[in-house]
Amino acid sequence: MEYVIEAKHLTKDYGDKRGIFDLNFSIKKGEVFGFVGTNGSGKTTTIRHIMGFLKAQKGSVTVMGLDSWKNSCEIKKYVEYVPGEIAFPDLKDGNTFLKAQAELLNLKSMDYANYLVDKLQLDPSANLKRMSKGMKQKTAIVAAFMADKDIIILDEANTGLDPLMRETFTEILLDEKKKGKTILMSSQSFDELEQVCDRVALIFNGHIIDIADMKDIKESKFKDFKIEFLSREEYLKFKRLKYEVVRDQEKYNQVTIKVKDSDVNRLFRTLKNYHLKFMSEVKYNLEKYFKSVLAKEYLRQEEELKRAKEKDISEKTKAEIKQEKHENKLHAKKVSEEEKSEKFFNKPKHKQEKRENKKQIKEIKSIKKEVLKSDRKYKKIIKKIDKGGKDVQ
Amino acid sequence: MFSKALFKQSMKANWVKWVMATASTCIMLAIVIIVLGNLGINNIRDQLKEVFTQADQQSYLKTSSIDSYDLYLNAVDFENGMVMLDESNMDMASLLWGYVTRGYDNALSSYQPADPEAELTEEDYEIIRNNAVDSVYDQIIGLLDMFPQYAEDFNFTETELKQLLYFMMLTYEDNPDFTGGEATNEKVISAIKTRFLDYVQDNAYATALSQEDATEETALASAMSARELASDAFDSYDDQKASAETDGGTFVYDNDNFKTLANDYVNNMIYNQVLTSFTLGSDGDLSEEEQAEAEQMAVASKVMSNTAITTYEFWIKELTTDEDGLPLDLTDEQLAQAYAQAREEATKSITDQIDAEVSKALEELGNMDIYSLIIGSIFYRIAGLLMPMVFVIMTANGLLAGQVDSGSMAYVLSTPTKRRTVTVTQMTYLIVSLFAMFALLTITSVIAVWISGGNAFAINYEQILLFNLGAFLTMFAIAGFCFMCSALFNRTKYSLGIGGGVTIFSLVCTILGLFGSTVVPSAMRISAMNFFNYLSVITLYDTVSIMAGSLAYLWKFAILLGIGIVCFIVGIFRFDKKDLPL
């Protein structure tokens, strides 16, 4: 069994372009796999499919080789889950809940649960309804993790935790990773994903746009440095050197350059002769990476949309004009016939109609013009975003 | 298929609701039964019922007074005829006997029944008698025309003569050879008199037997007293005649003269009868108090009898005479009608004097069983179901839809627990909790009935057990429906809205339908409201059938059980296959 979790052409269409479409990914044993994406992009839906709560319309998800819908009970022997929405059963306090959960899990020992409680500094004797969001999140984490199963699925498990607790939680995750567990987590926090994940998938509007390997990002061969010079002369002088400038802030005598790892020494040697105000490395991280990917995706989609619209409009216009011409012809024919019998009355009427037709054609043309105009505007925006993307890179 | 941990969890989540619903319903039920059992809520009803029984009794008393009075006067008339026959110059009775026997034989031989093969029935004989009476009567009138000198002695009206002839026919029919040779005047007269008394006796017996709650014994007694009355009437005629003639005067018969005598006689007879009935009712010995009561009743009855007869006479006078007291010229039919009307007026009771519909409504009110109405139709079908319903609506929703909607179901389903296990466990919890609730309710009701007098209470143990079973089955069906809604929908608002909505709608329809159902007396009933009963599942819980002891409730129970089972199964299967937003 090569893959622990494997999704093939997983599709669930809720209509209105919502849902998930043709997702394919696979997670190896011991791998930590992350999901990022904007709200409503389909992370939770994907996780629900993996848990066997939803039935796929097309494709399938397997967990440990078992279809997660058909064997939804079997796979739970391997999977522990922290749901995104925290709502506990109607029980008195945290202890009662954890005990009930342990009973459902057939747990003999609460040792690991107690360890987690201590580690997360959770007071499980508190009333479940009166717990703060962070407390609830901790309780949910303990309830899931205490089973100590092989696969951990987390749906935005660190929301509501204070920064210190986030660190603790990340520690716990790293511990689990060390134990060789397979983890699938969705998160809004790039930091967390960066620290824990081996691979991260970006989901956008129900599609996986990109799966990034953290190794590649972490071990990027380029570094960005932000440098501010004390004097303008030196700033200008530096700019003349052939470094790749990513961002230039003339106002502050500031420049951000991209340097190959092998060129770092050369840079420092160069800078020896300059007076700097400060210099810092701008880390190349997941967030930046995905922002650029996302920007590209936006562009692509909007362009697509644009093209479709344009095509639509031009086709429509062509058809309309054709139709009108045809109608006019017919009309003219009809009118000429009528003219023969009733010359006097029909002539002016005919002219007027012709004029109206012309007017309509003009209107259509002006609409077309406007569309083209907005298109140009659009291209400008796209260019800007392009720049931004470069900035990131 | 069953998770003990989940069952415990459901118990912990819902026990407060359960305790509230159970305790409040048990308390309500105990109070209803015990209070009703000790307040004597049926007193008013009993009084009303008493009024109606009394009215019936009074009506009966009055009727029998007038019957006796009529009989007395009739007997006096008859005796007068006999005396006339006896005192006539020729052996009139013997003469008539000859005509009667011949006339009857002729009528019998000439009678052609519809079916010649069959034996003659009493109706056939009645026709033969009447034919014979008519022909003999015609012969006698012919004779009197020929010999007017006899007409003086033969002072009969047509009715009287025909009646006389009729009795002679009866006598002849029963015993053609009674004379044992020559039919002398005396023999014939005594035979007819005996036959008259027999006739009176038979008639009274038949009438008495046709009464409600008549026994052989009472019928015999009233037959004997009728015979005695007729015979006493004969004697009183003879006494009057004798006392008139001792002073050398002549006795002129007038039926009116005997009216006072008849009235007194009947009054005394009633008085004695009531006294005797009291003595018979007790075991012979009456305490002073009882004696006084008997005396009081007897006097009251006597007065009532007197009033009835006086009224009767008044109405006869009113209907058969003009303003100057002269008799109106009435046909026999009109006369009979007048007498019947007079009798009706004289025997009217309270209930006859009010409008028939109102009277019926009042009587129904008297017959209404307030216990079964309040305990069966109001408590078990409405008030007692409300709290269990609230429990079921809330719990059924909380067991599935509520947990799916909030997302807490995820914790159960992320453990190796099948969806089927969840539904079956939750269903088990719902059914077991309902069962426990109604088990406690049953115990409470049985204890309450025991306190209120056990089987002597208006509702016996068997009925109260059936009430509880029915209520449980009704709630089972409703629980099934609510559970199904909970399993079908992911959102609490739909599950509660439809499950709870339909349930409460059913209850409200039952409340409205109560005003159209037959358990409510017609005075308060609006039959159009019965329509609501067709909209409610609770209608299948037939408390009326349980109280009446018919078995109609059984198949309705079966339907309730069926509804519940089907709903639970649909819910369980659907939950297996649907998407859960967890």
Q: Same domain for A159 and A246?
A: no
| Domain extent for A356 | 287-392
> Are the Cβ atoms of A51 and B4 closer than 8 angstroms?
no
Q: Which residues contact B515 (CB under 8 A, 6 or more apart)?
A: B524, B525, B526, B529
What does the mean pLDDT of chain A come to? 83
pLDDT for the residue numbered B559: 95
pLDDT for the residue numbered B550: 86
> Which of A186, A203, A218 represents a domain boundary (last residue)?
A218
- Reference B397, options B255, B498, B510, B297; nearest CA is B498
pLDDT for the residue numbered B548: 83
pLDDT for the residue numbered A261: 80
Q: Same domain for A174 and A309?
A: no
How far apart, in whole angstroms, are the C-alpha atoms of residue B430 and residue B437?
A: 11
A83 in contact with chain B, both atoms CB, cutoff 8 A: yes
Closest partner residue to B416 (CB to CB) among A73, A91, A92 is A73
Which residues of chain B neighbour A53 with C-beta distances below 8 Å? 410, 413, 579-582
CA distances from B35 to A44, B30, B38 (A): 60, 8, 5
CATH code of the domain covering residue A178: 3.40.50.300
For A300-358, the pLDDT digits (tens) are 888 888 888 877 777 777 777 778 788 888 777 776 666 665 554 444 555 666 777 77
Closest chain A residue to B580, measured at CA: A53
Closest partner residue to A89 (CB to CB) among B13, B416, B582 is B13
Name the CA radius of gyration of chain A, rounded. 31
Q: Same domain for A31 and A64?
A: yes
A53 in contact with chain B, both atoms CB, cutoff 8 A: yes
Given the structure tokens 């190959």, which residue do they identify? A260
For A80-135, the pLDDT digits (tens) are 999 888 888 888 888 989 988 898 888 888 889 999 999 888 888 989 888 888 88
Q: Same domain for A348 and A360?
A: yes
pLDDT < 50 regions, chain B: none
Q: Which two tokens stand for residue A90?
A: 């109607």
Q: Same domain for A293 and A267?
A: no
Q: Which of A53, A98, A105 to mutate to test the interface with B (most CBs of B within 10 A)?
A: A53
> Are the Cβ atoms of B416 and A96 closer than 8 angstroms?
no
- Reference A151, options A178, A171, A180; nearest CA is A180
Looking at the structure of chain A, the number of domains it has is 3
A79 in contact with chain B, both atoms CB, cutoff 8 A: yes
Q: Residue type at A202? A: L
> Are the Cβ atoms of B579 and A77 closer than 8 angstroms?
no
Q: Same domain for A205 and A274?
A: no
Q: Same domain for A48 and A193?
A: yes
Q: Same domain for A180 and A145?
A: yes
> Are the Cβ atoms of A104 and B408 closer than 8 angstroms?
no
The pTM score is 0.65
For A62-82, the pLDDT digits (tens) are 999 899 899 888 899 999 999
A390: pLDDT strictly greater than 50: no
Which residues, listed in sequence order, are joined to residue B423 by a DSSP beta bridge?
none
Strands (E) across chain A are located at 3-15, 18-28, 32-37, 58-63, 66-67, 79-82, 151-155, 182-186, 199-204, 207-213, 222-229, 244-249, 254-260, 276-282
Q: Same domain for A255 and A303?
A: no
> Are the Cβ atoms of B416 and A77 closer than 8 angstroms?
yes
- Reference B474, options B523, B425, B414, B537; nearest CA is B537
A51 in contact with chain B, both atoms CB, cutoff 8 A: yes
A167 in contact with chain B, both atoms CB, cutoff 8 A: no
> Which of A197, A218, A239 represents a domain boundary (last residue)?
A218
Q: Which of A50, A104, A105, A156 to mutate to test the interface with B (most CBs of B within 10 A)?
A: A104
Q: Same domain for A179 and A322?
A: no
CA dihedral B222, B223, B224, B227 (to 10 degrees): 120
Which residues of chain A neighbour B3 with C-beta distances below 8 Å? 104
CATH code of the domain covering residue A234: 3.30.70.80
Q: Same domain for A43 and A171?
A: yes
Q: Which of A12, A18, A51, A73 to mutate to test the interface with B (most CBs of B within 10 A)?
A: A73
Cβ–Cβ < 8 Å for B463, B352? no
Q: Same domain for A171 and A251?
A: no
A92 in contact with chain B, both atoms CB, cutoff 8 A: yes
pLDDT for the residue numbered A362: 80
> Are the Cβ atoms of A147 and B580 closer than 8 angstroms?
no
B419 in contact with chain A, both atoms CB, cutoff 8 A: yes
For A246-282, the pLDDT digits (tens) are 778 888 888 888 888 888 888 888 888 888 888 888 7
Which residues of chain B neighbour A97 with C-beta distances below 8 Å? 411
> Which of A283, A314, A329 represents a domain boundary (last residue)?
A283
Closest partner residue to A83 (CB to CB) among B3, B9, B407 is B407
Which residues of chain B neighbour A88 with C-beta distances below 8 Å? 408, 411
